[in-house]
Structure 1
Amino acid sequence: MSTLYITVLQVGTLLPALLAVPVADALGWRSSMVAWVLPALLATAAWALVHANHRRIRATGPAPVTPTPEAEGRVARTALGWSMAVTFGMTSLVTYSMFTWLPTLLREAGASPAFGGTMVALFAALGMVGALTMPALAVRMRNPFPIVLLCAACHLVAFAGLWWAPLAAPVLWVTLLGLGPSTFPLALVLVNQRSRTAAGSAALSGFSQGVGYAVSCLGPFLFGWLHAHSGGWTSPFVFLVICLLVQLAAAWVACRPQFLEDAWTPPARGARALNVPAD
C-alpha cells in the first residue's frame, strides 16, 4: 500500500507540472487553472465513497485500529518517535522547497517556463523510482542508514550543480534531485519495521507524519525568504544543506534496529511505596 500511495502521489504531482504551461499556451491561463478543478472534484467524490464505506464497516465489522491519546503521548517521549518525525520533516521540507522554487531558479538562469515545468515533472517522476524500489530494498536491510547516506549524496551533488551551473546539465541535476527524496518511502517502511503492533504502528505514523508535515510546510517560505533577502541562491541552498545534516542525524537514530513498544514499558505495579503510619 505504501508503494501504491507514493506512486499515485507522484503521478498527481507530475501531471500539473508537465501540462500546466502547454494548456495555458493553447487555451489561456484561466483555462489552465480551471482544468485542475476536475481532479479536485474526482478526489472529493472518491473521499465521499471512502467515508461512506468506512461508516458501513464500522457499523458491521470490527473496530479499526486507531492510536489512542495515551499511545501518541508515549511516542512523543521516545527518541524513535522524534527521530522519525524529524526524518519525515526534513525530507518533505527539502522536497517541497525544490518543487516550489526549481522553476524560478531555472527561469532566472535563462530557461523557459515550459522547460522549468518539464524539469519539475521529471523531478516528480523520479519519485516513483524510490516508491517502487525502496520498500523491497529496505525490508532486506537490518539498518538501512546507508540508503539515507546515498540519498543525501544525490541531494548534495544536485544542490551544487543547480547553484553553480544550473543550465550546464539540468537533466542530470534534476535526476539526482529526484532520487534524493527516496528517504520518504524509506521512512514509511520504517514506521512498520520499528513497531511490533498495529497500535504502535498507527501511533508512530500519526506522530511522525503529523509533526513532520507541520515542519515541512515552512520549507518553501524560508527558502524563498532567504532568496529574496540575500538576492541569490547561496543562502537558500546552505539552508537546505543544514536540513540534510539534521535529517542524517535523525535517520541515524531511526534506522537503528529497535522497536517503539520497547520504550513503552510501564513501571512495575506496586512500585510506589505505601506510607503505613506507625502505631
Structure 2
Amino acid sequence: MSVRSAVLVAGFVLAALNLRPAIAGVSPLLDEIMKDVGLSPAGGGAVTTVMVVCLGVFGLVTPMLARSLGLDRTLLAGLLVIAAGVTLRGLDGAPVLYLGSALAATAIAVMNVSMPAVVKQHFPTRVNLMTGVYVASVVAGATLASGLVVPVEHATGYGWRGVSALLAVPALLAALLWLPQALRGRGQAQNGPRPFGEVLRSRVTWYVTALMGLQSLTFYVMLAWLPTIFLEAGLAADQAGYLLSLTNLVQVVTALAVPVLAGRRESQVPYVVGSGVLTVLGYLGVLLAPTTAPWVWMIVLGIGQGASFALALLIIALRPADPATVTALSAVAQSVGYVIAALGPLLFGFLRQVSGGWSVPLMAGLGVIVVQIVAGWFAGRPATLGKAYL
C-alpha cells in the first residue's frame, strides 16, 4: 500500500471513529453536567434530544454542500465543526451547552450522509469491505466514548468540560489526515448529487429508508432502556452495564464482517432477514428470560443489530450507480430514519408507563422488527435506484 493510500484509509477510519463520541460521551457524564449547569432532568435529557433531532434534520443539507464543496471538503468541514462544537459546549452556561451540542450533531449528520458516498467515490471496487470498516469504526467510537469518558475524567481531573474539549483532539487529527484529499478537490460540482426528484420517486428509496429507520429505532430503544430492564429484572447495576457493553462490542465484529460477505452477493435479502431474525431472538430472550444466560441474549442481539446497521448502510452504497446519487439516497434514508429512531425510546418509555411492565413495550419492539424484516426484504433485492420493482 502506498503512503497516499495509507493516509486515505487512516483518515477515513479516524473520521468514522468521530461520528459517535460527541453523542455517546454525554450519557455517562449527564448527572454531573446537570448539577454543574443547573439543569432539571428534562433539561438534561434535552441535550441528547437536541442532538438526535439535529441528526434527523440537518443531514438533508448534505447534497447541497457536496454539490458546492465536493464530498472531501464537506467531510473536512464536518470534522472541524465537530471539534468546535464539543469545545464550545464545555464553556460556561446552558445556552452554549445546547449550541455546542447542536453544532457537533449537525456536523455528524452531514458526515453520516457523506460517508457512504465517500466509500463509493474512493473505494469503488471495495464498497463491501470499506462499508464494514466504516460501520465497525462508528460502533467502536461509540463504545470507546461511553466506556472511557469517566475514567479519563478521573485520570486527568479535568471535569466534564475538559473531557468534552478533549473530544476535539481526534476530530482535529482526522481533519489533518483528511486534508490531502480535500486539497485535491475531488468530487466538485460537476460530480454533485442529482436532483432529489429521481431519488424520491423510487420505491427503493423508501424501502431503504424504512430499513434504516426501523433498525435504528430498535437499536436506540435497547441503548436507552436495556440497563433499566435488567435492573428491574433483578440484576446488579454493574452487571447491567457490562451486558450493554457486551452487545456493543459484538456489533463491532459483526459490522466489520457482514458487509464483506453480503457485498459479494447480488441480493442481500438472506442477510437482512437473518439479521432481523437474530434481533427478534435477542428481544425474546430479554422478554422471556432476562436473568437466564443474559450474556447469550446480548451476543445474539449484538450480532443482529450490528448486521442490520451495516446492511442498511451497505445497501445505501450499493443501489445507486454513482457517488452523487448515493449522497441523495443517504440524505433521505438517514434523515428520515433518525427522525423515526428518535421516537423509539420515547414511545417505549410511554408503553412502560401505561402498562406497568416491560412485556408490552418489548412485544411492540418485536412488531417493529417484523416490519423491519419486510422492508429489508424489498430493500435487499437487486435493483438500481429509479428502477425498483415490487
Cα distance, 1:130 vs structure 2: 2.0
* Equivalent position of 2:299 in the other structure: 175
Where in structure 2 are the equivalents of 1:35-114 lying within 5 Å? 36-46=163-173, 49=176, 56-58=183-185, 63=188, 65-68=191-194, 70=195, 72-114=196-238
Cα distance, 1:8 vs structure 2: 1.9
Distance change (3 Å), C-alpha of 1:198 and 1:240: same
The separation in 1 between residues aligned to 2:219 and 2:164, in whole angstroms, is: 24
* Equivalent position of 2:326 in the other structure: 201
* Equivalent position of 1:9 in the other structure: 138
* Equivalent position of 1:117 in the other structure: 241
Aligned-partner SS, 2:235: coil
Amino acid at match of 1:152: G
Cα distance, 1:199 vs structure 2: 2.1
2:358 equivalent to 1:233: yes
Q: Number of aligned pairs?
A: 256
2:385 equivalent to 1:255: no
The separation in 2 between residues aligned to 1:45 and 1:151, in whole angstroms, is: 35
Highest Rg: 1 or 2?
Answer: 1
Kindly indicate whether the alpha-carbon contact (under 8 Å) linking 1:14 and 1:120 is maintained by their aligned counterparts in 2: no
* Equivalent position of 2:72 in the other structure: none
Whose helix proportion is higher, 1 or 2? 2
Kindly indicate whether the alpha-carbon contact (under 8 Å) linking 1:107 and 1:116 is maintained by their aligned counterparts in 2: yes
30-39 or 169-178, which moves further after superposition? 30-39
Return the TM-score normalized by structure 1: 0.81
The separation in 2 between residues aligned to 1:152 and 1:88, in whole angstroms, is: 12
94-103 or 2-11, which moves further after superposition? 2-11
* Equivalent position of 2:369 in the other structure: 244
The separation in 2 between residues aligned to 1:67 and 1:255, in whole angstroms, is: 23
The separation in 2 between residues aligned to 1:114 and 1:20, in whole angstroms, is: 16
* Unaligned ranges ≥5, structure 2: 1-129
Kindly indicate whether the alpha-carbon contact (under 8 Å) linking 2:201 and 2:386 is maintained by their aligned counterparts in 1: no
Cα distance, 1:106 vs structure 2: 0.9
User: Which one of 286, 306, 312 corresponds to residue 162 of structure 1?
Assistant: 286
Amino acid at match of 1:133: A
The separation in 1 between residues aligned to 2:228 and 2:145, in whole angstroms, is: 16
Distance change (3 Å), C-alpha of 1:258 and 1:156: same
The separation in 1 between residues aligned to 2:357 and 2:261, in whole angstroms, is: 39
Cα distance, 1:42 vs structure 2: 2.2
Aligned-partner SS, 1:262: coil
Amino acid at match of 2:343: L
Kindly indicate whether the alpha-carbon contact (under 8 Å) linking 1:13 and 1:121 is maintained by their aligned counterparts in 2: no
Distance change (3 Å), C-alpha of 1:54 and 1:193: closer
Kindly indicate whether the alpha-carbon contact (under 8 Å) linking 2:273 and 2:376 is maintained by their aligned counterparts in 1: no
2:277 equivalent to 1:153: yes
Distance change (3 Å), C-alpha of 1:66 and 1:119: farther
The separation in 2 between residues aligned to 1:233 and 1:38, in whole angstroms, is: 38
* Unaligned ranges ≥5, structure 1: 264-279
* Equivalent position of 1:213 in the other structure: 338
* Equivalent position of 1:224 in the other structure: 349
Amino acid at match of 2:172: A
Cα distance, 1:41 vs structure 2: 2.2
The separation in 2 between residues aligned to 1:31 and 1:177, in whole angstroms, is: 36
Cα distance, 1:171 vs structure 2: 0.2
Bigger relative contact order, structure 1 or 2, given CA contacts below 8 A and separation 6+? 1
Cα distance, 1:105 vs structure 2: 0.8
Matched-pair identity in %: 31
Kindly indicate whether the alpha-carbon contact (under 8 Å) linking 2:202 and 2:386 is maintained by their aligned counterparts in 1: no
